[in-house]
Amino acid sequence: MKKIVAMLLVLAVALALVACAGDDGGNNTNPTPTPPPTTPAPTPGTAADGNTPPDLPPVGEHVPEGDNTIGFVTDNVDHWDRPSYHIVYYNFEITALTAQITDAYTRLGEVYNFTVEQLTANGDPDLYITNLHTILLRGPDGVVVDMRQELAPRVAQVLSEYDVPAVCLFNKTTDANDVNLIPTVIMDQFYNGGRQLEFLDSIYTQYWGNIDKSEIRLLILDWSTNMDINMRAQGAEAKWKELYGNQEFIYGDTAPIGLSSEAGYDVVNSILAANPDVQYWFIVGTLEDIVLGGSRAVEALGKEDTVLMTGSGASILPGEWDAGYDGVWIANYAIPPFLYAGTGLFGLLAMIDGRADTGTLWPDYFLSQDKAARFMLGADMMTRANYVEYIANILRSFGVEP
């Protein structure tokens, strides 16, 4: 009875939200549809040189075997032998990444018989929870959530009140005891940062020759308020100490300024300008937005010949390369948005179909203390020489033509 009363109260709130939709007072809390990208898709580029691209990333860290194939693209399921599903992609805030995730779901829906609706909380944590109730009361077939990690316990509690399957993208959905609560598609964040540094160490002689390694300094660009993102910074620091011992590195936190290219520009500009005696810089960035601004700062300082930068992601740098960019930002540890979207989709479809549930989905990724699996994606460094085929290979693996 209490649950029925609670649902009626939430429904009343939802109706009130709809009634206020035309209010110009700025208090509308109805989930806001994210606008589609305003720029056309870039024309695919070509390899920058004749080098053989490295191996392209798999869809996951391994190919599932036996009974563990449920929830993967390899499922032997006729998705057109059922009504079309309606899936909501609900993100925390609007970014270039969310637009690309929505585009991926739109394209996947044409192949796997579903429609997608993208909604956002415009960066408001409390509104995210309120609107989630409203979304679930509308009765979608499934929900893809994308949120800040600290919201996970509250989101998991809301999801438990409704019979709507859900998966999460990007961040762990753990509680204070590191128990994962929602099926989640993530990456090994610590390895991400370490792999970036390892890549820079393996390639710098192609740019600088056989210099004295003691002349290199490391700048780590972090966004410390996100625990998952901060693990990338920790991974880079650990690899630096492994390869360069006690050699100096500098930590640059953009969180006090914000998640933006402007933050990356300001931090890189101030640190490099304050250290004019450093001969060569490795810069490892945890997020593309920050690295984009940092690369512009390097150019403004005229240090293109003495700086090499890497980042994480594949939603901004490919577009830079398509536009002809060939600067200090030379590579990313890259899990393209399509890989996140596609991996989460097949787990969600399996739960909507009733072929799996939160406790049985992706058993190979299920840790003993968890209530839901953490699907760990595999990836590697994406460069100007391999990025076109790198991304195309992932689309083809999900049955979508590049």
Rounded-to-10 torsion of CA 150, 151, 152, 158:
160
Task: Compute the average pLDDT of residues 242-262.
Answer: 90
Statement: residue 5 has pLDDT above 70: no
Statement: residue 39 has pLDDT above 80: no
pLDDT at res. 52: 32
When pLDDT is cut at 50, 70 and 90, the band that residue 69 belongs to is: confident
Give the strands of the sheet with 32-33, arranged side by side. 32-33, 114-120, 85-91, 142-146, 166-169, 184-187, 374-377
The model's pLDDT over 167-193, given as tens digits with 9 standing for 90+, comes to 999 888 999 999 999 999 999 999 999
Instruction: Supply 50's token pair.
Output: 């004749």
Nearest partner of 370 among 362, 379, 382, judged by Cα = 362
Q: Is the pTM here over 0.85, yes or no? A: no
Statement: residue 38 has pLDDT above 70: no
Domain 189-334 has CATH 3.40.50.2300: yes
Burial 162-178 (b: 16+ CB within 10 A, else e): bebbbbbbbbbbbeeee
Q: Higher pLDDT residue, 8 or 101? A: 101
Statement: residue 304 has pLDDT above 90: yes
Instruction: Supply 14's token pair.
Output: 């939802």
Report the alpha-carbon distance of residue 304 to residue 60 in Å, rounded.
36
When pLDDT is cut at 50, 70 and 90, the band that residue 8 belongs to is: very low
Residue 354: CB partners within 8 Å, gap ≥ 6? none
Residues of each domain in the chain carrying CATH 3.40.50.2300:
53-188+337-380, 189-334
Give the strands of the sheet with 249-253, arranged side by side. 249-253, 216-222, 280-285, 307-312, 329-334, 380-383
- Which neighbouring-strand residues pair with 329? 309
Instruction: Supply 248's token pair.
Output: 């100096």
- Class of 53-188+337-380 in CATH: alpha beta
The model's pLDDT over 181-237, given as tens digits with 9 standing for 90+, comes to 999 999 999 999 999 999 999 999 999 999 999 999 999 998 888 888 899 999 999
Instruction: Supply 208's token pair.
Output: 């600088």
On whether the CB atoms of residues 113 and 80 are closer than 8 A, the answer is yes
- SS3 label, residue 276: coil
Task: Compute the average pLDDT of residues 294-323.
Answer: 95
The model's pLDDT over 89-124, given as tens digits with 9 standing for 90+, comes to 999 998 888 999 999 999 999 999 999 999 999 999
